[in-house]
Amino acid sequence: MTNIENLFDYSPVQFEGIHHLLTMGVGAHFAALIFFILVSKFVSPRYRVATALSCIVMVSAGFILYGQSNLWFDSFAFNGEMYSRTDSTFTNGYRYVNWMVTIPCLLTQLLIVLNIRGTQLFSDATKLIIAAWGMIITGYIGQLYEITDLGQLMIWGAVSTVFFVYMNYIIGMRIFKGALGMTAPAASAMKKVFWLMMFAWTLYPIAYLIPWLDASAGGVVVRQALFTVADVSSKAIYGLMITYIAVQRSAHEGFEPAQRVLDYITPKTQ
């Protein structure tokens, strides 16, 4: 038992609220998966890998959240007044395992729609993935201490933050430099992607710090809400914006299906 979720009893409203949040996360990711599959035909081959990576992210995140939802339901039972612990143990550790897969995909698809290729793509992707894994692994270690040693929680959180800041520095540099060579709609969307990432990814460390900020049943509800909003924002909504940019760039470069879907082709007059 390493996470604070297992320390409390929950009212029906609190328990069902968390279960519904997790279920909503599942639905959002699988709905986005269908959308990305349908829209992939409007993305030119040059950028289509980015859409494929979105599909991988949706499947991975959707199944993890489905598992989290079931685990939450199995870990507590209604005693007539409150939901209390069963023999099962709820853990957020599965989220970290999922992030080891999804964050590298998210970062790589960003580089692809920025049209970074060749050795530069390999170099940037390597730096970003190492920073992401460093951030995730140290955060995972820290959350193992959240009910035993808040000092360790904070120390490992600080180490994770160093990787987080470095990763976002590289992302910001690449986005704002790459946006200069895009059409106005794509450039505007790309800048919004940066701010979306800053918003969504900042929610994760806040959720991480809940054992220090508010170790209570109510704090757990806030924590799971933060995790779910961050997941949907940084994966599903992010993927939608990346796909829009990919379609915009495809149309600008002459890919006819993208031009049609964006109404780039002016109807011919007789």
Spatial contact of 42 and 256, defined as CB atoms under 8 Å apart: no
Q: Give the pLDDT score at 269.
A: 46
Q: Which of 112, 169, 113, 159 is nearest to 133 (CA)?
A: 159
The radius of gyration computed from the CA coordinates of the chain, to the nearest angstrom, equals 21
| Reported confidence tier of residue 1, pLDDT bands at 50, 70, 90 | low
Q: Which domain holds residue 243?
A: 4-261
User: Domain total for the chain?
Assistant: 1
Q: Is residue 87 part of a domain?
A: yes
Q: Is residue 94 part of a domain?
A: yes
Q: What is the CATH number of the domain that holds 182?
A: 1.20.1070.10
Q: Is residue 78 part of a domain?
A: yes
Q: Is residue 268 part of a domain?
A: no
Q: Is residue 46 part of a domain?
A: yes
Q: Is residue 269 part of a domain?
A: no
Q: Is the pLDDT of residue 256 over 70?
A: yes
Task: Count the Cβ atoms, other than its own, within 10 Å of residue 113.
Answer: 29
Residues 216-223: what's their mean pLDDT?
97
Spatial contact of 146 and 211, defined as CB atoms under 8 Å apart: yes
Residues 228-248: what's their mean pLDDT?
96
CA pair distance 66, 73, nearest whole angstrom: 11
Residues 54-58: what's their mean pLDDT?
97
**Is 116 in a helix, a strand, or coil?**
coil
Q: Is the pLDDT of residue 265 over 60?
A: no
Q: Is residue 266 part of a domain?
A: no
Q: Is residue 270 part of a domain?
A: no
- Residues 6 or more apart whose Cβ sits within 8 Å of residue 247: 39, 42, 43, 258, 261, 262
> pLDDT tens for residues 117-175?
999 999 999 999 999 999 999 999 999 999 999 999 999 999 999 999 999 999 999 99
Q: Give the pLDDT score at 201.
A: 94
